[in-house]
Amino acid sequence: MKSIATFTLLLLTTVAQAASPAVEATLALPRTQPRHYVEAALTLLDLGAAEEAETIVTEFEGLSLSDEQYVALVDQLGTARLARLGREVPAAAPIVDQALAAASAAATSPERMQGLVDRLTGEREQALAAISALRLTGKAGVDYCMAQLAEADDPKLRARLREALVALDPISQPAIFEATGSDSEAVATEAAYALGRLAELGRIRTSIAPALVAGRVGKPGPAGEAAHWAYRQLTGKLPTDEDALRRLDAAIDELLAGTVLFTDGVEAPANFNVQLAARLAADQAALLPGGKRPARQALLLALETGDEGAIATTSTEDVSAVLGDALARKLHTAARLAAQTLGQRGDEAALHTANGELAPLAKALESPHPAVRFAAAEAIVAINPQRPFAGSSRLADALLYLAAAEGDDIAVVASPQLARAGETAGWLMGAGFVALPANRGEDALRIATASPDTTLVLIDMSVSLPGARETIFRLRRSPETALVPIAVLAADGRLSEAQRIADEHGGEAAGVIALARPHSPEATASMAQRLVALAPADWPHADARLRHAVAAKQAIAGLLADGPSIYGFDRRTEQVAVVAGLGKSEESLATLVALGTPESQQRLLDAASLETRPITDRNAAADAFTESVRTHGILLTTDQIRRQYDRYNLSASAPEETQAVLGRLLDVIERKGK
């Protein structure tokens, strides 16, 4: 009965609509302009005639309007009415998007922007109207006003541009903050006044703002006067050198901690906090001329912004000190550039300290950032020390680890249920990852730390041996995975608990996030992309890791052949043999020859004996085995030699070329044995 009643009501409604004089009248209205179609469709929606509204939209779509017509349409109707049409009639969404895009482009065109700026110097009412119009242009308006401010000679225009930037708050704040340190006195002056005005209006939310002008309050000229005024607006008191230095110190620390400076929706440039911290450090160094600590901090932060020239004339001792500071403060770009500089100079003093402790360059070999670790290893190989230094064995470990990269993006999935881990791993493989499942925490640790290709780790809340919290703790304690993004996956009802664990390990800022277990390939791929985005800056992609691996293998081969015996490769023969592989390249064959161990000679025998390999590769491996025996003698055990005879005896029916290679190997063994 209920369904019959519903059907009857629907039928009566449809009939009523069809017969509605209002609907018929709306449909009968002439539509000679684009706005008429939108107005008619919206009216029909108000009357409950959605199908008729969609018919009107279809007609409207057939008009194929120009961008100029779309701009006029937005001006006439406003964005809200168009947005409603796109929301309630899905077929209209593409048209609405096109109209809004055209209107946005027209509103921020250089011609319109210049017209608004030209009006800023007119009568007060005209200028205020131009400022209101600029406010609607958003980030594009901020950028244009800043560019004009840098070029403006007219004091009146500069003041009006400043007013416009204040009116464009909060999206103008990043630009104003940055401009307070401008080399242009006019720009720095107006930016300081704008900052003070925002303070008067109560719109500054961050405690670092006074530091932006603290280092400039004592300077002569307009910029110093503006900074002085702004400082009083921000703090309510007169500045002193002691107060300025204290605020600069606190602001630099806050910026490097990754504090959020602006309200939601305000977009700051990439690396904004570091750029700002570097400028404040330079201000601090200028306030304390001759001060070693401020100068070194300014140098450190300039490097972190990517300014390679900052240390061009700095002594090796100071570069080493900067490297140590960068490692301690986890400023990975600065650490990489400092290590590269030490390598380019080739000064062995970078590897020794007065007290015999580890030099920063040796410490960098265990940096959690792969790019820093590679730069340190490359630098030490370039320096080519001939005497031991503290931490010299770390070079072998770093090179062997880097050399193990294969260019895959590895995702480790830990769940107590292998079926679930396998399902998630399968979805990750579909998203382009090499996914490795584990059902225990210790297995996840072993897998994740074994390869430099580990890109992300998923830890289910239910994992055990050890549990999720301890597993993540150990991952973060290991240099190999200390910075690898981690997701703590939670079942329904446990997300808050997972969030607590993530927060204990630094949360999203430290690359640890809590997420619900994914239940589809799409959700898994989205989660993986979010995690990848959390990796630190300069994190090497697959191609870079492969380049590092090739360079590391070449370095290992060179050190084994001609380098000093201070690195301990002889205590890592199995690892060297594994990295060299089964003679897959000239470099790996040379490494196995130089290694001179039973393991390396066995691997050369294996490489030459395998029928599945091309005969040219097998002959190259046989040549390498001959060279190894000539250089080091027979190092094989009796059992290994006997197995090689068995190989030859079993090859009676093998191709002639196989028998020839195996015969060559036995000739070498027998000749040297005699």
Tokens coding 371: 């790019």
Q: pLDDT class for 612, splitting at 50, 70, 90?
A: confident
Residues 111-163 have pLDDT tens digits of 887 887 888 888 888 888 887 877 777 888 888 888 988 888 888 888 888 88
pLDDT band, very low/low/confident/very high, at 10 (cuts 50, 70, 90): very low
At 227, give phi and psi (nearest 5°).
Answer: -65, -40
User: 160 is written with which tokens?
Assistant: 């009006």
* pLDDT for 349: 93
499 and 509 in contact (C-beta within 8 Å)?
A: no
pLDDT at 13 over 50: no
Average pLDDT of the segment spanning 432-459: 94
Whether pLDDT at 190 is above 80: yes
Find the mean pLDDT for residues 405-427.
91
The residue ranking higher by pLDDT, 60 or 113, is 60
Instruction: Specify the pLDDT at position 220.
Output: 87
Residue 169: name the closest of 157, 158, 177 by CA. Answer: 177
Beta bridge partners of 436: 412
Instruction: Please give the pLDDT value at position 4.
Output: 45
pLDDT classification of 402: cutoffs 50, 70, 90: very high
pLDDT of residue 666: 92
Under the banding of pLDDT at 50, 70 and 90, the label for residue 2 is: very low
Give SS3 for 26. helix
Instruction: Convert 528-557 to b/e letters by CB count within 10 Å (16 or more is b).
Output: beebbebbbebbbeeebbbebbebbbbbbb
Give 488's strand partners: 459, 514
Q: Rounded distance, CA 299 to CA 338, Å?
A: 10
Q: Which of 159-163, 271-275, 474-478 has the highest mean pLDDT?
A: 474-478
Q: Return the pLDDT at 1.
A: 45
- Nearby residues of 527 by Cβ (< 8 Å), 6 or more positions away: 487, 515, 518
| Identity of the highest mean pLDDT range in 53-62, 480-489, 566-575 | 480-489
Give Cα 342 distance to the centre of its chain.
Answer: 26
pLDDT at residue number 672:
65
Do the Cβ atoms of 168 and 142 come closer than 8 Å? yes
pLDDT given for residue 581 in this prediction: 64
Residue 450, burial from CB neighbour count under 10 angstroms (0-12, 13-18, 19+): middle
> Could you give the C-alpha distances from 649 to 145, 601, 663, 666, 673, in angstroms and in order?
85, 20, 10, 11, 19
For the segment 251-274, the average pLDDT, to the nearest whole number, is 84
pLDDT over 70 for what percent of the chain?
96
Position 428 scores a pLDDT of 94
Confidence of residue 182 (pLDDT cuts 50, 70, 90): very high
Q: How far apart are CA 611 and CA 658, in angstroms?
A: 7
Residue-averaged pLDDT of the chain: 88
Q: What is the pLDDT of residues 523-536, one digit of tens each?
A: 999 999 999 999 99
Amino acid occupying residue 374: F
Instruction: Please state the rounded mean pLDDT for residues 364-390.
Output: 95
- Of 114, 120, 257, 204, nearest in space to 192 by CA: 204
Q: What per-residue confidence (pLDDT) applies to 584?
A: 58
> 432 — phi, psi (to 5°)?
100, 10
**Cβ atoms of residues 629 and 640 within 8 Å:** no
At 560 the three-state DSSP class reads helix
Buried b (16+ CB within 10 A) or exposed e, 379-406: bbbebebeeebbbbbbbbbbbbbbbbbe
Residue 250 reports pLDDT greater than 50? yes
> Six-digit token pair at 542?
């697959």
Q: Which amino acid is at 444?
A: A
pLDDT score for 585: 65
Task: Tell me the backbone φ, ψ of residue 88, rounded to 5 degrees.
Answer: -95, -20
The alpha-helical segments, DSSP class H, found in 489-637 are: 495-504, 521-532, 542-562, 573-580, 586-595, 598-609, 615-632
Residue 368 has pLDDT above 90, yes or no: yes
Please check the confidence at residue 188 and state whether its pLDDT lies above 60: yes
Query: What was the pLDDT predicted at 6?
Result: 46
Rounded Cα distance between 133 and 241, Å, is 41
341 pLDDT higher than 80: yes
| The pLDDT of residue 247 | 92
Residue keyed to tokens 């390396």: 600
Count CA atoms closer than 13 A to 204's CA, side-chain side.
Answer: 21
Q: Is the pLDDT of residue 234 over 90?
A: yes
b vs e for 649-666, b when ≥16 Cβ sit within 10 Å of the residue's Cβ? Answer: eebeeeeeebeebbebbe
3-state helix, strand, coil in the chain (%, to 5): 65, 5, 30
Query: By mean pLDDT, which of 258-272, 299-313, 542-556 is the weakest?
Result: 258-272
On whether the CB atoms of residues 374 and 539 are closer than 8 A, the answer is no
Render pLDDT for 584-599 as a digit per residue (tens, 0 to 9).
Answer: 567 678 888 888 888 8
Query: Cβ neighbours of residue 628 under 8 Å, at least 6 residues apart?
Result: 592, 593, 596, 600, 601, 604
Does the pLDDT at position 576 exceed 60? yes
Q: What pLDDT sits at residue 582?
A: 43
**Average pLDDT in the 328-336 region?**
94
The burial class, CB within 10 Å (0-12 / 13-18 / 19+), for 223 is buried
Kindly write down the DSSP assignment for every residue of 177-189, as one continuous string.
HHHTT-SSHHHHH
Q: What is the pLDDT of residue 419?
A: 87
